Chains A and B, each alone.
Chain A
Amino acid sequence: MTRGHTAALALVLVAGAGLVSFGSCAPDSDRRTSAVARPANVAPPPSAPNHFGIGRPASAAEVAAWDLDVNSRGVGLPAGSGTYAAGATIFAARCVACHGARGEGTGTGASAIPRLIGRDPRQGFPFGSDLKYVRTVGNYWPYATTLYDYLRRTMPLNAPGSLRANEVYSLTAFLLAENEIIPRDLVIDAHTLPRVRMPARNRFVPDNRTGGPTFR
């Protein structure tokens, strides 16, 4: 509420008029109407400007420092490259403690760490109907670029954001090759990664729930 609103509210309350009409600067907020007329010496709430002039311009360096995301076209991928062999070494050193030696996952229930590697079943996409298949990078993830985006953000859990670009590319190459999606000799970089076609790419459909009486 602006100072003007507060003043208007106080005036009416002092006058004992009870319910007061007070709008909000936000166009989407609830507005109340009142049967009590606004006295002539009380101004209506002002309309809000589109631009308050609050905040300061972000520098290009500030944006670059935080602009982490990589999209499915590969926009945001940095320079650098990675190989299966280097990825295998990093995986053994940084990942197996949680994800297991073969990326099979560890733990159960609340402490379960996801399985990363596996293509079963080779046919179909039965995850909605058959609980025996575990979703992995290989059989479920629709975009390879997501691996880079996610690994860079937050892996490994005990040292998030600590991997250098070449290390992230290498881990990505390792996981894609172990899932038999790319050959082991493919170098992964900003050019090759967006071109990797994931097996589950066409399985994803937009939400068709709309509310209303039909349960979907």
Chain B
Amino acid sequence: MRRSHCALPRRRCPRARRLRNCKSHRLTPTKVLGTPTTALGARSPFVTPARTPTGILTGTSLTPLQDLSGTITPSDLHFERHHAGVAQIDPTRYRLLIHGLADRATVFTLDDLKRFPSVTRVHFVECAGNGRAGYRAPKRELTPQLIDGMTSNSEWTGVPLATLLREIGAQSTAKWVLAEGGDASVLSRSVPMGKALNDALIAYAQNGEPLRPANGYPVRLLLPGYEGNMCIKWLRRLELIAEPNMSRDETAKYTDPLPDGTARQFSFEMDVKSTITAPTYPARIADRGWLPITGLAWSGRGRIARVDVSTDGGRTWTEAELHGPALPKAHTRFQLMWQWDGRPATLMSRAVDETGALQPTRAEFRAKRGPGTDYHYNHIRAWTVDRDGRVYFGADL
């Protein structure tokens, strides 16, 4: 296909499409009028990020971490993980039932929930199984999206669950809250009362607008820093209970078999983690000289305190700059300027959170958690830079 100064093929150029003979395609933007305003904004046709849908109802679709800047994940690129497809819920028919060990079993409509005082917080949501491909089936041709694309970061607005629990008169015998979704999987998880009263949110907005269907429209549970599976989407019921329910997703799944012959249960908090997003596969460093090594760090236990970057496979480390403010239980952007000299290099990042937790090496992780562990893969990720500037995953394999 013939190309002009405009890097797009002519069939994808918005101006070329409107004007006969594609004349505008050869003109500079200062010599031709632009497009009119629109009801909904669209990305530049030059920008085409994409998730990785599989066409399977129970599957995942991953955030293209390597294509994003800053810390907020655009809502339409938030990762998806569903257990029976995306439910479509009419907000006028939506109901949230809260009952169990409470003085007043209560039904709330969506309008009811919006009458309560709300809060707005920035938090990541991360699937507990994020990182599995990079640990269980690593190969050089993995992108940050394929390794860690099951984490996304949004501004969430909603009612603190604590407010609703006071509203219905939660009783002191209630030690857990069973949260249940209104989709076809009716997914249920037990949430400790301490978390419910601390920072749990009944969220109805994401990045300034109603939740997207894939994020639980109209209402989801948000448990900052806890595994994504517990942040029940399409939330329809909360039951105050005295002991955990032992539902499928807190027994058969989302438990961590360990080398000592046990399985860790109720492992809710996401460990401190970081990943370089650039330069990474499939990018190629074009020239020697200065470039930023940048990426994301986050912890389910609080703020990121520090991120170290190594360019020599972990022999020496340099503290990276954090794009502040580092918010608790939220993605934090780090950056280190690096002068590539054209020689092979091994890039790594390791984050420390405010509890002092440090990401383990892959070897340390494997020794403690074993090859068969199934969730919470927070080992250091390593990238090889070849002499030709091509970057590949898994330098430490």
Interface residues of A (CB under 8 A from B): 1-2, 24-29, 48, 50-52, 54-58, 62-63, 66-72, 110-111, 124-131, 135, 137, 140-143, 145-146, 149-150, 153-154, 157, 160-161, 200, 203-213, 215-216
Q: Mark B358-390, 1 if CB is under 8 A from A, else 0.
A: 101000110011111100000000000000000
Nearest chain-B residue to A150 (Cβ)? B248
Interface residues of B (CB under 8 A from A): 54, 56-60, 83-84, 97-99, 104-109, 112, 115-119, 160, 162-163, 166-169, 178, 180, 184-188, 198-199, 236-237, 239, 241, 243, 245-248, 251-252, 255-269, 271-272, 299, 301-302, 353, 355-358, 360, 364-365, 368-373
Q: Which residues of A contact B355 (CB under 8 A)?
A: 210-212
A52:B116 contact, CB within 8 angstroms: yes
B contact face: mostly helix, strand, loop, or mixed: loop
A160:B84 contact, CB within 8 angstroms: yes
A125:B263 contact, CB within 8 angstroms: yes
Nearest chain-B residue to A210 (Cβ)? B355
B84:A55 contact, CB within 8 angstroms: no
Nearest chain A CB to B300 CB, angstrom units: 9
B106:A58 contact, CB within 8 angstroms: yes
Nearest chain B CB to A50 CB, angstrom units: 5
Given A56-B107, A58-B105, A111-B54, are A204 and B262 also a contact pair (CB < 8 Å)? Answer: yes
Q: Give bound CA distance, A50 to B103, whole Å.
A: 13
**What are 17 A-B interface contacts by the 8 Å CB criterion?**
A27-B162, A28-B198, A52-B115, A54-B108, A69-B178, A111-B56, A128-B261, A128-B373, A129-B372, A140-B263, A146-B247, A154-B187, A157-B84, A160-B84, A203-B261, A204-B262, A211-B356
Q: Give bound CA distance, A24 to B299, whole Å.
A: 26
Task: Please list the 10 inter-chain residue pairs (A to B) with the smallest Cβ-Cβ separation, ordered nearest first.
Answer: A211-B355, A25-B117, A127-B257, A128-B257, A128-B370, A58-B105, A150-B248, A153-B186, A55-B106, A72-B246
Given A110-B59, A128-B263, A205-B263, are A149 and B247 also a contact pair (CB < 8 Å)? Answer: yes
Nearest chain-B residue to A205 (Cβ)? B262
A69:B372 contact, CB within 8 angstroms: no
Q: Which residues of A contact B372 (CB under 8 A)?
A: 126-131
A125:B59 contact, CB within 8 angstroms: no
Q: Give bound CA distance, A104 to B372, whole Å.
A: 20
Given A69-B239, A128-B261, are A160 and B186 also a contact pair (CB < 8 Å)? Answer: yes
Q: Which residues of B contact A55 (CB under 8 A)?
A: 106-109, 112, 167-168
A207:B188 contact, CB within 8 angstroms: no
Q: Give bound CA distance, A213 to B353, whole Å.
A: 10
Across the interface, B266 reaches (CB within 8 A) one of A27, A51, A161, A206, namely: A206
Nearest chain B CB to A195 CB, angstrom units: 15
Q: Which residues of A contact B261 (CB under 8 A)?
A: 124-126, 128, 203
Nearest chain-A residue to B354 (Cβ)? A211
Nearest chain-A residue to B137 (Cβ)? A109
Q: Which residues of A contact B262 (CB under 8 A)?
A: 125, 128, 203-205
Q: Which residues of B contact A26 (CB under 8 A)?
A: 117-119, 160, 162-163
Q: Which residues of A contact B163 (CB under 8 A)?
A: 25-26, 48
Nearest chain B CB to A36 CB, angstrom units: 21
